[in-house]
Structure 1
Amino acid sequence: MMEQLKSRYSFSVLLAGVQWLFFLFTNTVMVPLSIGHALGLAPGEIAGSMQRSFILTGILCIVQLIWGHRYALMDGPAGVWWGLVLSICASAPAMGLSLGSVAASLTSGFVLSSILVIILTLCGFLKVLQRIFTPIVMGVYLLLLTFQLANTFFKGMIGYDQTGKWDLSLAGLSLFIIVVVAIIHIKGKGKFGQFSLLSGIVVGWIAYAILFGGGESARSVAEGANGVWHWFPWGTPQLEPGIILVGLIAGLVNMTNTLTSLIAASKMYQRETTEKQYRRSFLFTNFFSILGGCLGLIPFGTFASSIGFLENTKVLRRAALFAGSVMFILVGVFPSLSGWLAQLPLSVGNAVLFAAYLQMFGTAIRTFQGAVFNPKTIYRVALPVLIGISIMNIPSSAFTEFPPLLTPILSNGLVIGVVMVIILENFVRWDKYETKIPQKEMNSAAESAVKEKVATATSVN
């Protein structure tokens, strides 16, 4: 009997690990690919950076599981840095810099910002950050992150291209995948419901192959690699003051991302995150960011989007992420595995992630529980959220008149929204505007409700 239980447990963990593998891959593969093209790197260099990214992401997840924050959360290429690097590359001509100079300066920015975060962590800055990061700030952050991710994955799942057109056939398939994931998640009995995302990937991949054959997929990393490990592949580090300054700001913003992830995870696991867990998490993430910067990778961060994944799958076991991370390392080590996994249609992966991140919207809403909202206090949430979303929907070309070095920050709706809510929470006494119901009125209302229920029950009988 015990052997059967162990066998079932092992198989369940393995399936959950495969589900984590696809989550890790889908959230990682486009980062080195898009940055490599933005910097004009050769295909072999891009392939090598993708493999390094897979391997280091898998190792960092395992390190965090065992010695770091000890939650089943993905640590990988930080989204804040991803958007920042692409924005800086696009602004390079306006700054009078070549892509080679930008790449070399970014390497310095990666390393110096990570060193700054390590110093701040060791000096006790986390306590200041925790006081600043109230439930309202965290809720606004999660809402904006949900909108940003949903917008990105929605465009991917409908085949939206640069011409402003979308593929109706892909959109229809993506809608079908979302329905499949939702039905399995809601109606699935037992552990079957925990594998809704994996089921969506399998069903969607098969349906895509039947309807469209091969073609639209992530670019294979199995071809053209010129070797994996290269020290400073982006050139000798340079010190461009503007890029360094923006990088330091991005490092601080990335700290808030990790803090949000750990606070949300502590609620899911129903245990308090200790100061040691916070500190170890930041230290490991930024040590790997320094290593990654020297290897041509953007800094790492804890993915708040992992919360949506956990909410959807309900698989909180750390063993599942451990298994998925080991598989992900193997994918990076063996290019043939990378090539196979890269055949996953991007529209299928985007549709599944879109469905997963719907759960994060609920997590964001729940963080506002207990707050009192009225026509005055609603500004503390509505203003930063709506301004952040508005900036997200403005084309990057609209920011060309801004100072080039400020463009990456000012054009980032997530950053602007979070900065705005932090300012509002720390400089406005919202409790003065909260309309609170006196205790006598609350008791009177409760007594009236009870009497009404008794009267209703009596009339029915």
Structure 2
Amino acid sequence: MRLAFSSAQWMVFIMTSVIVAPLSVGNAFGMSQPEIADVLQRTFFVMALASLLQGVFGHKLPILNGPAGLWWGVFLMYAGFVSSTGDPEVVLRSLELGLLISGAVFILVSVFRKMNIVENMFTPIVTGTYLILLVTQLSGPFIKGVFGVDYLSDGVNLVVAVCAIVTMILAVLLSRSQNRFLSSYSVLISLVFGWVLFAIVGIAKPMTSHVSSWFSFPELLAWGVPTFDIGIVLTSIFTAFILMANMVASMNVVAGVTGKQDELNYNRSGFVMGVNQALTGLFAAVGGVPMATAAGFISTTRIAERLPFLIGSVAMLLISLFPPVMSFFASIPMPVGYAVIFLSISSLIGLGFSNYRRELGDEKSVFIISVSLMAGFGSMFVPQEAWAGFPTALTSILNNGLVVGVLLCIILEQVMKSKSDQKEGAQTSE
């Protein structure tokens, strides 16, 4: 019984972590409701398969694979450029090729066993900066989601907000309960409660009527034959290297929570990640990455075992093959999804501070942290339109506060570390 509940909770967490990105990408490209449903199915399928492959053959940790914020941003950025190109299909087909190239980069780096270079860059300072900027970047969509923005209307909906906040309070109370059953399954219990509450109040959306068959396998290259675009190719190559750092950070964070630091194999995980990126391109979905949010989920629910995670991933994979079943779960009110995992996401800030703890006594470390966070936070407030006229590859970097802050943190630490080593070497020679 405990295994069944734990697996169901992992399935729900994977689902709520995946569902937002394909819906927003579909809307951004002006897709019809059936087309958005198909993108949702393909993304569910690929993310569940990727989680399973990593859990069995890759990092072998309970880390869900979800849409990467960076890929999500790249898709939305190019959706904004569609008005100038005039053909969204061409852009989508170019993004297919970009995902395939990203997968090839991952595989090459892993085959030549160079993933340790990325690993060495992710010190406690960089990991802490990554986590804090990640939560900051997610905080906007989460608060909007809980308040019901873009759910029933463009503005804040008071009824939706009250019901979502009640659900969130219940999730927090259950997670801190002395009863192990209630604390371990707080996400699942709160989700059911919130869904029922939304239905009773009359603000739960009906299931989509687009169900062409009971069983459907995701279509390969659904957007068409991949096409070459130099801007997207360059963006994809850079995205791959950033996602390597993202993957390493997620593995380090979850390994710290589960006590598996000694079992990490970055090259093996990177190879599987490359396969997963290529699969995302083949199935025309939003690119993914192992998500550090799993650490917050594990800390909140105390479910650190790998088996429930694998079963939850298999369940999610099977659900994606049955449109009626997926349609049922996809009808979960998004404000409820945001509310029940709000605590799991926010707890990552605590993990970020834990990484900083040993470094705050060093003046150089404080300087690096301060400058990196300031740059990352500031970049999040620069409107995308401000980068008009800049090269597309550069825009994808500068328009992402998480990327700006983490890159600056890595550069500053490596430069200051190099100077410190040179100074120590000179003193030794004297």
TM-score, structure 1 normalization:
0.84
- Are residue 391 (structure 1) and residue 357 (structure 2) matched? no
- 1:144/1:417 contact within 8 Å kept: yes
| Counterpart in the other structure of 2:28 | 38
Q: Which has the larger radius of gyration?
A: 1
- Are residue 77 (structure 1) and residue 67 (structure 2) matched? yes
**C-alpha deviations, 1:15-45, integer Å up to 9, x for none?**
1111111111111122222223333444433
**SS of 1:247 mapped into structure 2:** helix
**CA RMSD, aligned part only?**
2.4
**SS of 1:367 mapped into structure 2:** helix
- Are residue 351 (structure 1) and residue 339 (structure 2) matched? yes
Which of 401-410 and 344-353 deviates more? Answer: 401-410
Counterpart CA distance in 2 for 1:310 and 1:349 is 17
**SS of 2:208 mapped into structure 1:** coil
Residue 202 (structure 1) aligned to one of 186, 189, 192 = 192
**SS of 1:301 mapped into structure 2:** strand
- 2:216/2:321 contact within 8 Å kept: no
**C-alpha deviations, 1:201-224, integer Å up to 9, x for none?**
122122222223432x7x738535
| Counterpart in the other structure of 2:162 | 172
- Are residue 311 (structure 1) and residue 288 (structure 2) matched? no
Q: Which amino acid is the alignment partner of residue 16 of structure 1?
A: S
| Counterpart in the other structure of 2:312 | 324
| Counterpart in the other structure of 1:454 | none
Pairs aligned (count): 418
Counterpart CA distance in 2 for 1:141 and 1:99 is 32
| Counterpart in the other structure of 2:127 | 138
Residue 241 (structure 2) aligned to one of 247, 252, 255 = 252
- Are residue 290 (structure 1) and residue 281 (structure 2) matched? no
Counterpart CA distance in 2 for 1:383 and 1:304 is 23
| Counterpart in the other structure of 2:399 | 411
Residues 14-413 of structure 1 mapped to structure 2, 5 A cutoff: 14-94=4-84, 96=85, 98-161=87-150, 165-215=155-205, 220=208, 222-223=210-211, 228-274=217-263, 277-373=265-361, 377-413=365-401
Which of 250-259 and 169-178 deviates more? Answer: 169-178
Deviation of 1:430 (Å): 10
Which of 99-108 and 35-44 deviates more? Answer: 35-44
Determine what percentage of the aligned residue pairs are the same residue: 27
**C-alpha deviations, 1:161-191, integer Å up to 9, x for none?**
4997312222222222222111111123223
- 1:311/1:360 contact within 8 Å kept: no
**SS of 2:359 mapped into structure 1:** coil
Counterpart CA distance in 1 for 2:354 and 2:419 is 20
- 2:93/2:227 contact within 8 Å kept: yes
**SS of 2:341 mapped into structure 1:** helix
Counterpart CA distance in 1 for 2:124 and 2:364 is 18
Counterpart CA distance in 1 for 2:168 and 2:414 is 40
Counterpart CA distance in 2 for 1:367 and 1:69 is 21
Pair 1:192–1:431, CA change in 2 (3 A): farther
| Counterpart in the other structure of 2:425 | none
Counterpart CA distance in 1 for 2:193 and 2:6 is 16
Deviation of 1:280 (Å): 2.1
Deviation of 1:357 (Å): 0.8
- 1:197/1:356 contact within 8 Å kept: no
Moved over 6 A (4+): none
Counterpart CA distance in 2 for 1:147 and 1:174 is 20
Deviation of 1:291 (Å): 2.0
Deviation of 1:431 (Å): 9.8
Gaps of 5+ in 2: 421-430
Pair 1:161–1:37, CA change in 2 (3 A): closer
- 1:17/1:324 contact within 8 Å kept: yes
Which of 200-209 and 303-312 deviates more? Answer: 200-209
Pair 1:297–1:161, CA change in 2 (3 A): closer
**SS of 1:369 mapped into structure 2:** helix
TM-score, structure 2 normalization:
0.90
- 1:150/1:354 contact within 8 Å kept: no
